[in-house]
Structure 1
Amino acid sequence: MPEPAPASPDLPPAGLSVWNTAPTSAPHQRRARHYVPGSADHPAKMLPALAAHAIRTYSRPGELVMDPMCGIGTTLIEAQHLGRHALGIEYEARWAHLAALNAATAPHEGATGAGEVYWGDARHLTGLIPTTHHGRIALVLTSPPYGRSLHGQVRSTRESGTPGVTKRHYRYSNDPHNLAHAPTDQLLDAFTDILTACHAMLRPGGITVVVTRPWRDHGELIDLPTAVLGAGRRAGLIPIERNVALLAGIRDSRLVPRPSFFQLKYVRDARRCGTPLHLIVHEDVIVFRKLEHETANGRRGQPHRPASNSNDGYVHLPADHAPDRTHRSEPDTSPTSSATPSFPNGPPAPG
């Protein structure tokens, strides 16, 4: 991968705190890029317009962008097309395989940045990423898994003679150690570990952007964005902004919501039962900065962690929850792309 550009002393202005990131639907936005077959099956993909806006706002061409939970590689692709270089880490072999193919295809579509995908657990990303990149990341952009009611796709069952719909592509995987299956408290503790690892990878003054949103569980609103703020602080990052990325278009000064089928059904069912719920038509964008000079541990560039977090209210996942990544096989790239995917730490099985 080419060397990242020298650190810029100033960031471009962040602009408005409300981002118009859904002027068109997600499928329409993705038509502007080439995604290899199978990419659409991922249950929770970041909006390309959202990723592009964050990358433009918080990094410059030639700099290094990283997504520690990269899925099918939306962040990488948008960074490459904006002239940045990109690193992605993905836990699931299937998505890592597709992310690497998508990143390898981007230069054939006119992207000027390079992209690499590392297969493994993001909590241990400092051991996955070569030390040459440590302390050189300009921007971390990612989104944790959340809210199964927000994920997935539907298919009509009319063809089979039964009215209604079936839900599909709503699971990241069947691996019980995938954080998508973890209770909220365990997810937050693991995400704190991921942000701590990202902190070590960032250059001084580097930016971390986390895209997340609240969701409802049996009528109760789960305020994940505020919990993410706490996770970032525990990882030694400094919160500097909290923005809103719209999940709705703007037509004649009115919002046109773009909810998932399941979210819309949930709200309609609640209203029929007399509960006045409203659609959530935004994602929170939490922005953190790494200090220019770290003082908490006496050394610049070292992550700050509390001396003990045993009483911080979260359940801690043991390190041995990481999967065994010793058995790998070469992916067959011929059916989906002529590009060569980059797996610096060894290729996953295509799954």
Structure 2
Amino acid sequence: MAAIPTSVWVTAQRNSRTQRAGRYVRESVAHPAKMLPDIAAYAIGAYTEPGDLVVDPMCGIGTTLVEAMHLGRRALGVEYEARWAKFARANIALANSQGATGDSARVIRADARRLAKVVPPELLGTAALVITSPPYGAAVHGQIRATAETGERGVQKFDYRYSTDRSNLAHASREKLVAGFAEILSGCRQILRPGGVVAVTARPWREHGELVDLPSEVIAAGTSAGLEPIERCLALIAGVRDGQLVTRPSFFQLANIRQARAAGVPMHLIVAEDVLVFRAPLDGDSAAQNGSGRTPATADSPLPPNAFSP
């Protein structure tokens, strides 16, 4: 397979709280693995045009849908958990109240592994872009509160699980997670228009000291689903100031790094997420273009118009 071109997305010049302030209902913060709004907005600006359909098969609180609406795109989300689907609909309503120009957005509560069966038939083969991320990494997600006031030491962790429903893919073993995600990507191929794009955010993590290379497993899953890998990008989750990266680690990331270094493992804070970009088969169009007729941004090409500058 030919080498996949890379590019860097400058998507964390504002911290996550600032990106969401006033744009999402307060209860949204409870979701353990929210996509950064600026990452979703960057992908939408890079691979779609106003009026295009953007789909998120595991939409959570609806970040992709909200950002699509504010950029004048149509949006469709699928979400397994009733709680997150409720918040996604609330965020859509908030976007509408704020004058978002996208003319339609909808959330379907269903299992994304049945994507092609739950999406309205008239939308099959019409999506310009799918944005998603596999559920993973409970060890690095969540929020904390200090426990000193109760006479205990340390911190208490909360909002670090997607649900308690064991049928949720988030509870699956790594092997079943990858297999289930491959099913989802197969469904994505059916809802994409010819040349449409799938952008998947993922990152490696360590489990009992072993490196889990999830991005590589996502590439394999996408290829098995009949999608063509066209880019491997980095979406920054650290800011850029005066030529230096400004990290924005969570408590758990800091704790994991300190533990690893104490054990002699030279780990560093994560400053970016992998973005694996795939394309649906084309119908006779140039292999150098995506479904909107635009050449994707790579390390050697200009960034899209909505690139976030320092």
User: Normalised by the shorter chain, which TM-score bucket?
Assistant: 0.7 to 0.9
C-alpha distance in 2 between matches for 1:68 and 1:132: 17
* Residues 261-308 of structure 1 deviation map (CA, whole Å, 9 limit, x = unaligned): 1121011012112222222221000000111139xxxxxxxxxxxxxx
Kindly state the Cα deviation for residue 32 of structure 1 after the two structures are TM-superposed: 4.7
**Pairs within 5 Å for 1:42-53:** 42-53=31-42
| Residue pair 1:21, 1:245 contacting (<8 A) in 2 also | yes
C-alpha distance in 2 between matches for 1:191 and 1:166: 31
C-alpha distance in 1 between matches for 2:209 and 2:242: 32
**What TM-score results when the alignment is normalised by the length of structure 2?**
0.87
1:141 equivalenced with 2:141 (yes/no): no
C-alpha distance in 2 between matches for 1:49 and 1:85: 18
1:238 aligned partner: 228
1:202 aligned partner: 192
The AA in structure 2 aligned to 1:134 is L
**Percent of residue pairs bearing the same amino acid type:** 57
1:105 equivalenced with 2:98 (yes/no): no
**What TM-score results when the alignment is normalised by the length of structure 1?**
0.77
The AA in structure 1 aligned to 2:41 is A
| Residue pair 2:6, 2:231 contacting (<8 A) in 1 also | no
* Residues 123-148 of structure 1 deviation map (CA, whole Å, 9 limit, x = unaligned): 11222111111110010011111111
2:64 aligned partner: 75
1:91 aligned partner: 80
C-alpha distance in 2 between matches for 1:204 and 1:166: 48
3-state SS in 2 of match to 1:38: helix
Kindly state the Cα deviation for residue 260 of structure 1 after the two structures are TM-superposed: 1.8
* Residues 144-195 of structure 1 deviation map (CA, whole Å, 9 limit, x = unaligned): 1111122101111132233321110000000111111111110010000000
The AA in structure 2 aligned to 1:141 is I
* Residues 61-97 of structure 1 deviation map (CA, whole Å, 9 limit, x = unaligned): 0000000000000000000000001000000011011
C-alpha distance in 2 between matches for 1:32 and 1:46: 16
1:255 aligned partner: 245
Kindly state the Cα deviation for residue 31 of structure 1 after the two structures are TM-superposed: 0.9
| Residue pair 2:6, 2:234 contacting (<8 A) in 1 also | no
Runs of 4+ in structure 1 displaced over 6 angstroms?
none
| Residue pair 1:104, 1:115 contacting (<8 A) in 2 also | no
**Pairs within 5 Å for 1:1-351:** 17-33=7-23, 35-113=24-102, 114-293=104-283
The AA in structure 2 aligned to 1:246 is L
C-alpha distance in 1 between matches for 2:88 and 2:272: 25
How many residues are treated as equivalent by the alignment?
279
C-alpha distance in 2 between matches for 1:103 and 1:150: 28
2:302 aligned partner: none
The AA in structure 2 aligned to 1:237 is L
Task: Structure 2: state its 5+ residue gaps.
Answer: 285-310
* Residues 231-279 of structure 1 deviation map (CA, whole Å, 9 limit, x = unaligned): 0001100000000011111122111111221121011012112222222
Task: Structure 1: state its 5+ residue gaps.
Answer: 1-14, 295-351
C-alpha distance in 1 between matches for 2:48 and 2:145: 39
3-state SS in 1 of match to 2:274: strand
3-state SS in 1 of match to 2:26: coil
Greater Rg over alpha carbons, structure: 1
1:299 aligned partner: none
3-state SS in 1 of match to 2:156: strand
The AA in structure 2 aligned to 1:101 is A
The AA in structure 2 aligned to 1:197 is G
The AA in structure 2 aligned to 1:73 is G
| Residue pair 2:54, 2:73 contacting (<8 A) in 1 also | yes
The AA in structure 2 aligned to 1:63 is D
The AA in structure 2 aligned to 1:17 is S
